[in-house]
Amino acid sequence: MKTDQIDIRVGRRSGAQKLLGLCAVCLAALCMPLSFTGPAVALPDIARELGGSPLALSWITNAFMLCFGGFLLVAGALADRVGRKKVFLAGVVVFIAASFSLSHASSIVALDLLRALQGLAAAAALSGGGAALAQDFEGAAMTRAFSCLGSSFGVGLAFGPILAGFLIQHSGWRSVFAGTAAIGIVALVLATLCMRDSRDRAATGLDWPGAASFTAALALLTYAVLRAPDSGWSSPSVLGLLACAVVLFGAFVAIENTVHRPLLDLSLFRYRRFIGVQFLAAAPAYSYVVLLVLLPVRLISIEGYGSLEAGQIMFAISAPLLVLPMVAGLLTRWFSAGSICGVGLVVAAAGLLWLAQCPPAHSAVAIVPAMFIIGVGVSLPWGLMDGLAVSVVPKERAGMATGVFNTTRVAGESIALAVVAAVLAAFAETGLRDATAGASLPPASQALSEAAHWLSLGSVGEVSRLLPGLDHAALLASYGRAFSDLVYVLAAITLLSAVMIFSFLTRARPAVSTHLGGADSVAE
């Protein structure tokens, strides 16, 4: 590490201070999955109280994910430039304020806007915290620290649905947001007392044109995918949004190739392992993350479980993340990280194929084993990803590294959620059309399309209102076929991701580099 490039605000620090700083970052990281899984479990209750169209309800999840993913790259660059602790603390403070405001939201529009603000704050906290950890720990200690960070996500994902179900059942859906704010306060106190501030003194300013073009491109792409089920993929509005997104992504690449201190160092894409890490970042979106939204809707709205019961069932898919990320870290003594990650994705694909065989008529006992296998598969790469992300860049650019990796991960998740919602609605529309084909007065195409959107959200009552001639058994069968077809698609994507991981990340064992030249050691 080039000591003249790091501005350290605090002198020599004890091991206890470093560990408490790690705890602060892990607690903040714990809030992220809670902010994701909690609203997914609360969605039916939110819809009943605040109403809203299918598109407005989908933004409860997508507003958070889009702003989270779109701002991570900017937040990482800001952390390197103005100070990692400053960015972390600012993010946690805004996150706490947004969470408390969400617990008092009076309309679906206010809820969506506050979720967007919460996503921006979460991006700042995660990028600043991850970059700070890379300055406090080195070598094997850094690997263990980032394994703890990954395990914190695992704890949030494992207990998030159960906690949300308990809070909803006893205190209503608003308490879900108040709970994350309380955790954020603890993280804020620990970080204020124990975290040191540092920055990259070689940084001269933020690449605002690059930041604006990238964020706008990502927003337009996600919005186009969300609009597609309503307007059609070939509609002028969707095609126009997609075209604008492509132009802005092109502008972003052009800007990054010309500015002195780019938001994203495109030269890193020369290295195979850096490319492989980005594939790895996006892979869990289709094998795991989308299920955290789809399965609570199925369990509560389609199969009739209560919020607490659904949360308990969801524990099966996330419980492995409590232990296996640490186990994966230990396995790197004997196997390459790429091999472990690839095998994990193959296991997750097998679990998805099993899940596809379980229609809604099955009991929870039938789907729990499939969910558990998916969780086991995803847990193997989960604890290795963050450490790999910072191993291919100079230490003083750790904020950029975590920003790129987490942007790929979270932006991939937001796009995956939008794509999966569109595909599920399309499959549901096909099923509903087949189910109503024999009716004396077949429903209009617009009614079928709207009913399919509501069915993808689990709103059986709205579907029955739009298609009054459709009996309940046929409705459930239509949903079951659509869900199974979608899971088959997810399994295929997961297997393809495993092939890419084996190709890019298994030629050499990972090594922690402290300079750009060191990336060669992990590239080929």
Asked if 253 and 402 sit in the same domain, the reply is no
Is 147 in the same domain as 238?
no
345 plus 281 within the same structural domain: yes
- 489 confidence band (pLDDT: 50, 70, 90): very high
| 395 & 424 share domain | yes
Read off the amino acid at residue 194: C
Overall average pLDDT of the 250-269 stretch: 78
**Residue 451 falls inside a structural domain:** no
- 519 assigned to some structural domain: yes
* Same structural domain, 280 and 342: yes
**Are 281 and 351 part of one and the same domain?**
yes
Report how many domains make up the chain.
2
The per-residue pLDDT for range 360-410, each reduced to its tens digit, is 766 667 788 998 999 889 888 877 776 666 665 555 555 566 667 777 777
C-alpha 432/C-alpha 520 separation (Å) is 54
What pTM was computed for the model? Answer: 0.69
- Is position 72 within any domain? yes
How far is it, in rounded angstroms, from Cα 347 to Cα 509?
21
Give the tens place of pLDDT for each residue, 98-117.
988 888 888 888 888 898 89
Domain closes at, from 239, 262, 285: 262
Alpha helices, DSSP H only, in 285-391?
291-297, 307-318, 324-331, 337-356, 364-389
pLDDT value, residue 139: 65
pLDDT, mean of residues 51-61 = 74
Tell me the percentage of the chain whose pLDDT exceeds 70. 80
**Nearest Cα to 262, choosing from 204, 220, 198?**
204
Q: Is the pLDDT of residue 449 over 90?
A: no
Q: Answer yes or no: do 256 and 171 share one domain.
A: no
Q: Residues 313, 299: contact at Cβ < 8 Å?
A: yes
Q: Give the model's pLDDT for residue 1.
A: 40
Q: What are the pLDDT digits (tens) for 67-97?
A: 887 777 777 777 777 788 888 889 999 999 9
Same structural domain, 137 and 168: yes
Are residues 507 and 359 located together in one domain of the fold?
Answer: yes
Tell whether 462 is covered by a domain.
Answer: no
Q: Which residue has the higher pLDDT, 66 or 510?
A: 66
Q: Is the predicted pLDDT of residue 6 greater than 60, yes or no?
A: no
pLDDT score for 10: 39
Residue 454 lies in a domain: no
Same domain, 480 and 336: yes
CATH number at residue 76: 1.20.1250.20
450 is a domain residue:
no
Domain span at residue 507 reads: 15-206+263-435+475-523
Q: Are residues 201 and 219 in the same domain?
A: no
Tens-digit pLDDT profile for residues 397-443:
555 666 677 777 777 777 787 788 888 888 887 777 777 766 555 56
**Does residue 368 belong to any structural domain of this protein?**
yes
250 shares its domain with 124: no
Is residue 426 assigned to a domain? yes
Kindly tell me the sign of the dihedral angle through the C-alpha atoms of 416, 421, 426, 430: positive
- Mean pLDDT of the chain, nearest integer: 76
